[in-house]
Structure 1
Amino acid sequence: MLRLDEIVAGYGRSQVLHGVSLSLERGEILCLMGRNGAGKTTLLRAIMGLVPLSGGAITLGDERLDRLPAHRVPRAGLGYVPQGRRLFAGLSVAENLEIGLMARGGDSGLRDEVLGLFPRLAARLGQRAETLSGGEQQMLALARALCLRPDVLLLDEPTEGLQPSMIAAIREVVAARRDAGVAVLLVEQRLDAVLPVADRVAFLENGRMGPVVSAGALRADRSVADRYLGV
């Protein structure tokens, strides 16, 4: 479904990704892990067209995403929840969702469907995003991405700094989207947060692709994770 073929990307003269190849299939959660500075966030930004490639290709089905301007990538079917949420803080919950709907021509029926996944947001539609709790803001960022009705969902550390109940709620929604056929690429730092939901785990080290293993294999033997995540 989503294919990264030998992608090379970075910032100016600083190359961060060195020939990274990765595939993501419909209806699976693939977790991307690595130490700080490994290039995980840059990889997600490259997929979204926010960091230009200097080599390789990114395709979704038969469409070359790396040939699209960044504002067209969401319309191709990608939802993105960046680290730090990046909400429109002064706008209401409803207005933030409307921006998501506009990106791919969604309607009020889709908004109601998404709000059904996040009852807390349904009670706060007129509230400004900046006044929500951290967990509610993360829910709003995810809900806005789901308003695109994405084929692929990219999540950059969505549970960072959240209390366990919020983590469980977000994890449940992500798993439900996977079960509905959405492909999910999830960046996380904590293995224990990943194993309950991931189908496969890929490791990135210094901008280069490491092994890709099943979550089941990691549950049985964490030595690979210790190698790529240990200090």
Structure 2
Amino acid sequence: MKINNPFEKKLKRSVLEHLYKKGTLDEKTIVINELTIDSFSRRADLVVIKNGKMIAYEIKSDADSLNRLSGQMDKYLDYFDKVVVVTTSKHTPNILNSINEKIEVWEIADDKVILKKRGKLQRVESKEKYLDLLKVHEMKKMAHLFQIKLEGKNKQEVRKSIIKGLGGISFEKLKAFTINAISNRYALTSNLFIENILLRKKVILSDIDLLSPYSAQRTNIYIGHEESILGQLMKL
């Protein structure tokens, strides 16, 4: 994880301002700063959830190294519907020459987003990857919802039990559950961020602090603009 990188924070602001101006950020959007993935061993810099899609934004500022970027982005493709690398003119040529064809590339210049390479929406190939995004209490809720018998209580045992029952769960229902769980987990900070930018009609640098995973105590609150998990899944 990158610590106290002011250049990264400025790029995040530019990304979020761009998304706001495009109309992407509204009350039905969940914005996450540093979402842990890959069984909580990695962090995606920004993730935006909307309309049943999870899009990850990886920030590469002038202060960042590009070591292992290609492999890192390939890993992100295991979890997200789309991956966007956001960088500056310093890194753009090297990034364009090294990444997967599915990855989108944005360059920030004078606080504006320049599309350097268009990416592709794609389907997550492995059901097990969705489990990597969930905490143990969320997996237990999944097991209860889909009537999967648990053979233990710790995370490894719960995960193993659910994997055995994944054949009876469609990709669509599994994805819907995962998105709902993550959205509820980050609703508190995301809603605060969205309320601020909609009121001000722009994104300022200090708004990024509202998205910090450490800025507020998280609670699993009901998201007013979403249906219950059961109601949502029964429509699939």
Q: Do the structures match in fold with TM over 0.5?
A: no
Using the size of structure 2 for normalisation, the TM-score is 0.30
Name the structure, 1 or 2, with higher relative contact order (CA <8 Å, separation 6+).
Answer: 1
Give the structure with the larger strand fraction: 1
